[in-house]
Structure formats: structure tokens, C-alpha cells
Amino acid sequence: MSAPKFDFDIAVVGSGPAGLAAAALAASKGASVVLLDEQAEPGGQIYRAVTETPVRDRKVLGPDYWHGAELLGPLRDSGAAHWPGATVWSVARPREDGPDGERSIQIGLSRNGAAAMLIVRHVILATGALERPFPIPGWTLPGVLGAGAAQVLLKTSGLVPSGATVMAGSGPLLWLLAWQYLQAGARIDAILDTTPKQNWRAALPLLPGFLRSPYLAKGMKLMLEVRRKLTVIGNVTALRADGDGALKSVTYTRNGTEHRLPADTLLLHHGVVPNLNLANATGCAQRWDEQQRCWRPTTDAWGATSVEGVSLAGDGAGIGGARAAEEAGRLAALDALHRLGRIGREQRDQLAAPHRAALDRALTGRAFLDTLYTPAEAFRAPADDTIVCRCEEITAGAVREAVRLGCSGPNQAKSFLRCGMGPCQGRLCGPTVTEVIAAERGVSPAEVGYYRLRPPVKPITLAELAALPKTDADIDAVFKH
Amino acid sequence: MFRRLPEIETAAEAVAFTIDGRPANARAGDSVAAALLANGITACRNTPVSGAARGPYCMMGVCFDCLVTIDGTGNRQGCQVRVAPGMAVETQNGKREVER
Ligand SMILES: Cc1cc2nc3c(=O)[nH]c(=O)nc-3n(C[C@H](O)[C@H](O)[C@H](O)COP(=O)(O)OP(=O)(O)OC[C@H]3O[C@@H](n4cnc5c(N)ncnc54)[C@H](O)[C@@H]3O)c2cc1C
Ligand code: FES
């Protein structure tokens, strides 16, 4: 066996639809490409475990899921190196220190408990999405999980809830999971729909766009089936999980009245937001997106960020769904090939045309969904007794108190409260902390800002770091920015 | 609480491991967090701050609520590690201890 290669033209981080499509296309045009993902198998969130799921009955996960398998052949044929189980914890700003001033970007990663450094000339971040935090009193109790988490358990292990099960929240993924559970014969006692009634007024003008969406028919069919077969309780305005050391019941408010349901499992979902930690720590500029109510890295039409040599594709650049992610991955790959001098501008544009058209099609109607499924403010900036930072157990009340003492944004909240200082590095509290501070100060989230993150974006052990061969550049990549 | 879909239960090749020293079974391909849930364990640690019980929440490596000790090494993300034959999984009490 030859020694492993640590030098590539392009590194793609994330093997969801965006990363799989990007790596396959770039490598098929002759670039040397490495595809990195911390998961043990390719697929990302939507196609999680598509190569080895134990759920053989194809109707349970549905046809959209199995589309993921079609992305794997092209990747294999492309000759791209594929490293699963590789967590990327740093992407250093590019240097022009290669032969003839060639650009080099250093990537820090951990694989099999050992750290390594890669040198590449271009990076495509395809780090995807994570579930928007859904902070309610009691959401830290064992037995309360994200709906996406439950879906991961279904896809990778064929596990479904047993005992009393309540789903709560809003958004397409909640309906999809309910539908998948129906196909699987799993028990669901009730779905508590938190979609605010008044969202309809804001969303209606956007309906014509949605009527042209390729997802409309599919989505409606799925939702009607769920509504016909399950108890769906609408207009839920407040939620609480109760129990002592484990979930026992869920209390919800509807039309001003509280009701209680026994529950062994509560699955929460309020849509997804970009997983932007790596882009943020790499120094990519980001902006507040009012429609999706989240921070997203600033990108151009090709996914290029404010950092030369670093581009973004898929949900990590703004939520667009799996098909959009796939096409955005191809566009980013074509642009990277162009920037590396592998293809000319004209060839890039020509090759991109069908993918751009497909991307536009996939994004049709998105604005309607974003507007309809914006969680109510009471869930984005919860009541005082609700934990917002799960790592450090900081409540919304403590954040508000800090604002009254002069804390103006998330970075100050870190020093006031240690909020966002835990191992998740603000991934789970960032959006909530921004919203709580903005509401308390009476300003927009854009003004409040977001955590300024630094590598390593995932905790790595000292042993892993110590095992690295260290040049000055290596040390810089981790500690300076 | 979680259960395995019936079609899988029968096809499962069992992986024998231990939870806090007690023998348990999982399916090859399960993450440690999934294996705990499949064995009826929803809480896998107590927090170092208040001592509250926590269990897996995100299953995708984000929340760090699935931290357990695996084969003597503390603070491992149970949802990111696959269960392996003979693995010793221990629920985690508070902070990771210095020597493990
Ligand atoms: C839990 C969950 C379940 C979802 N299920 C569905 C579904 O069933 N249907 C649907 O239409 N949409 C689903 N979505 C929305 C969905 O994520 C997408 O639209 C789609 O997967 C986006 O594709 P992507 O390629 O942008 O990113 P993803 O598919 O999210 O892939 C990103 C990949 O990057 C990897 N990654 C991230 N950071 C790092 C790092 N630092 N180092 C190494 N690897 C890293 C992750 O492990 C992941 O595999 C889900 C979202 C979530 C959060
Ligand atoms: S369950 Fe969230 S990190 Fe493992």
C-alpha cells in the first residue's frame, strides 16, 4: 500500500447531497478531490445510512430517501478519495506560499482518534443543517429528542418509539417523520402543531410560487394522510415537558387552556438552520436572514464566500432542501474548477446552465414554506425559566438579566454567563441567544450579531493534538486567526 | 423508549457489549447512543453543572448530551461511535475524570 496522500486540489467537507455531488463532479473533471465527513457512511442527514440501513421495506423511508443511492455511483466512478469518519475541526485562511505563489489551505481533521493536516487549494464546505433549537421548559429531560434525531434512529437502526409518543412543532420534516412512522406502524399518540395561525396571513401572498413547486403534490399527499390517520392538535401556543429525571408528560396550551398528555417520548421540531460553525470559524462573513430567521454565510451565485478559496454548498449556506443542495454542490464544484484553472469561464457557465435551472426549480416555493413555518416568538425567545444553553444550563431569564446589566450580544453573553462556551460551541443555543437578546434590547438580530467562533470547531483531545507533526503553520492553523 | 422494527429484530446479528457492567445486545451498525436507547436506557449521563439527568437529544453530534465513557475513555459522544463487540459502555457522572 502506498502512503496516504495529504495533498489535494479540492477538499469537500460533508457527504450529504451537496458534498457527494460536488466531489463527484470535481473529480470527474480531473481534479484530485478528497471528500471528508465525520459520519461513518455517506449520505448526510437526509440520506443517512442509505448504503446500509436495516430498514429494507422501501416504502417506510419513501422514494426521496432512496434517491440518495443514485449519488454514490458517480462518486465511486469519479475517483475522488472518500474519507468517512473524519471530523474537520479547522480550515485555515489561505496562504499564497506554494510553488509560484500557489494558494494553499490547511485543514485540520481527526480520524480514528488521530489528528492530521491536509493541504489543499480549494475547500467546499457542505456541512448541511441542524435542527433549529426548540427550547421549552423540560426539553433537557431524557425522553425528549429532536424529530430529526428520531429519524436518524429510524434510518440507521430501525428504531421507533414505543410507549406514549407525542410529536410537537412545525415544518415539513415533522410531517415527513410522522408519515414514515405511519408506514412503519409506529405509535404516535398526538401531533401538537405549533404553526402560528397568523403566519398564514404573511405566507398567502407567496402561495402562487409554492403552487408551482415540485414538492407541492408530494407534501400535500403526505400531510393529508397523516391528518386522516393521526390526532393533530393545532394552534398550540405553549409547551412544557414534565418529569423527574425522565419525561412523564407534556403540557400544552391551546386557545388559552392547558391540557396534559402522558408521554414517554416527545419529539420536537422547529425546522432546520444552517450548520455554520466551520464557515464562521474560517472567517467567512455571514448575515442575518430575516425570512429564514437564522444566520447564513454570505455567498455569491456559485457559493463563493468572503474567504478566497473557500466556498459553500447546500443547506449550510441557507436552507433549500436536498435537491437544491445537490445542484448547488455541482455549481460550487464547477466554480472551484474554474478558479483552479481547470476549466475556462465559458465552459464553467455552459456546464452550469442545466444545474442552475434545476436549482431554481428546486427552490421554487421555498419562501412560502419559510414564512408559514417560522416558529412563534414565544418559542424562539422562550420564557425566563427555560434553559437555552444546554451545555452550561443557562436560562433565558439569566440571558435577559445579563442584557439588563449591559450585555449587548452573544459574545458578551459568553463572558457574562459562559453561555455558548460548552462543547457544542453555541450550535444549539446560538439562534435562541440571538433572539432573546434582540427581543430584550428591542433591536434586530442583525444588530445583535452572532458568536465569533474559533477553531477547533469540535473539541479534540490534547493527545490528538500532541500526536501531530508540528510545523509553525500547523500551530498557526489551530491557535491563530 | 424505543423498539426495533419487527423486520429487523429477526434479521439482527447481535453485538454483545456491556452497559455499566451488565451484559446487553445491540445490532451491528448501531451507534452507542442508539444501542443504549434500544436497551431501554434514555439517560446516559448527569451534567457537571446541576447533576440533572440527560440523554441523547440530536443524534448528529451537535448537543453533547450523549456523553458516555467507552472502554475507559470519558466524554465520548455516544451518537458518533459505533457499538463494537465486547465494548464496555459506562454512563457518565458529571465531568470527565482527569485520568480517563
Ligand atoms: C436530523 C436531520 C434530518 C433531516 N432529514 C431530512 C429528510 O428526511 N428529508 C429532507 O428532505 N430533508 C431532511 N433534512 C434537511 C436536510 O438536512 C437537507 O435538506 C439535506 O440533507 C441538505 O444536504 P446538505 O448536503 O446540504 O447537508 P447534509 O445532508 O446535512 O450533510 C452535511 C454533512 O456534513 C457533515 N459535517 C458537518 N460538519 C462537519 C465537520 N466539521 N467535519 C466533518 N463532517 C462534517 C455531516 O456529518 C453531514 O453528513 C434533515 C435535516 C436534519 C438536521
Ligand atoms: S445526541 Fe447530540 S451529540 Fe450525541
Answer with the one of A290, A315, A343 that is the final residue of a domain.
A343
Helices (H), A207-302: 207-211, 216-229, 277-282
Looking at residue A421, what is its pLDDT? 84
Question: Residue A471 — pLDDT band, cuts 50, 70, 90?
Answer: low
Domain B14-93 has CATH 3.40.50.300: no
In terms of DSSP bridges, do strands B67-70 and B53-54 run parallel, antiparallel, or are they unpaired? unpaired
- As given in the structure block, the three cell numbers for residue A97 are 506560499
Residue A391 touches partner B, C-beta closer than 8 Å: yes
Looking at residue A120, what is its pLDDT? 96
Same domain, A104 and A218: no
Name the least confident of A96-100, A344-348, A440-444, A445-449. Answer: A96-100
Is A148's CB within 8 Å of B50's CB?
A: no
Same domain, A167 and A239: yes
**Residues with Cβ within 8 Å of residue A414, at least 6 apart in sequence:** A420, A421, A451
Same domain, A282 and A303: yes
Its ipTM equals 0.95
Position A50 in a domain: yes
Looking at residue A481, what is its pLDDT? 44
**Can you give the residue ranges of every domain in chain B?**
14-93
- B57 CB under 6 A from ligand 2? yes
Position A477 in a domain: no
Looking at residue A164, what is its pLDDT? 98
Position A471 in a domain: no
| pLDDT tens track for A221-279 | 999 999 999 999 999 999 999 999 999 999 999 999 999 999 999 999 999 999 999 99
Position A476 in a domain: no
Compute the distance between CA of residue A356 and CA of residue A422 in angstroms, rounded to an integer.
Answer: 40
List of chain B residues whose C-beta atoms are within 8 Å of the C-beta of residue A393:
47, 49-50, 52
Pocket test for ligand 2, best of B60, B76, B92 (most atoms within 8 A of CB): B60
Phi, psi of A160 (to 5 degrees): -130, 155
Pocket test for ligand 2, best of B30, B32, B42, B63 (most atoms within 8 A of CB): B63
Question: How much is the average pLDDT of A368-390?
Answer: 96
Average pLDDT score, chain A: 93
Compute the distance between CA of residue A450 and CA of residue A297 in angstroms, rounded to an integer.
Answer: 12
Same domain, A99 and A117: yes
A128 Cα nearest atom in ligand 1: 27
Looking at residue A1, what is its pLDDT? 45
Same domain, A307 and A252: no
Quote the Cα angle for B7-B12-B14, to 5°.
155
- B63 CB under 6 A from ligand 2? yes
Same domain, A211 and A256: yes
3-state secondary structure A342-400: CCCHHHHHHHHHHHHHHHHHHHCCHHHHHHHCCCCHHHHCCCCCCEEECCCCEEHHHHH
Domain that holds residue A397: 381-448
Same domain, A230 and A319: no
Shortest-distance ligand to the CA of residue A456: 1
Position A348 in a domain: no
HSE, side-chain direction, 13 A CA sphere, residue A478: 25
Secondary structure of residue B77 in the 3-state scheme: strand
How much of chain A, in percent, has pLDDT values that exceed 90?
Answer: 82
Compute the distance between CA of residue A424 and CA of residue A226 in angstroms, rounded to an integer.
Answer: 34
A351 has pLDDT over 80: yes
Outline where DSSP puts E strands in A279-334.
Answer: 286-289, 294-297, 310-312
A 423-442 → B contacts, CB under 8 A = 423-424, 427-428
Looking at residue A14, what is its pLDDT? 98
A321 Cα nearest atom in ligand 1: 19
What CATH code is carried by the domain that includes residue A410? 1.10.10.1100
Position A455 in a domain: no
Same domain, A165 and A255: yes
Residue A140 touches partner B, C-beta closer than 8 Å: yes
Same domain, A139 and A252: yes
Same domain, A234 and A146: yes
Position A333 in a domain: yes
Query: In Å, how far is B35's CA from the nearest CA of chain A?
Result: 9
CB A171 within 8 A of CB A147: no
When divided into structural domains, chain A yields a total of: 3
Question: In angstroms, what is the span from residue B61 Cα to ligand 2's centroid?
Answer: 4
| pLDDT tens track for B42-93 | 999 999 889 999 999 999 999 999 999 999 999 999 999 999 999 999 998 8
Top-confidence residue, A452 or A203: A203
In this complex, which of B3, B5, B53 lies closest to A55 when CB atoms are compared?
B5
List of chain B residues whose C-beta atoms are within 8 Å of the C-beta of residue A390:
54, 57, 63, 65
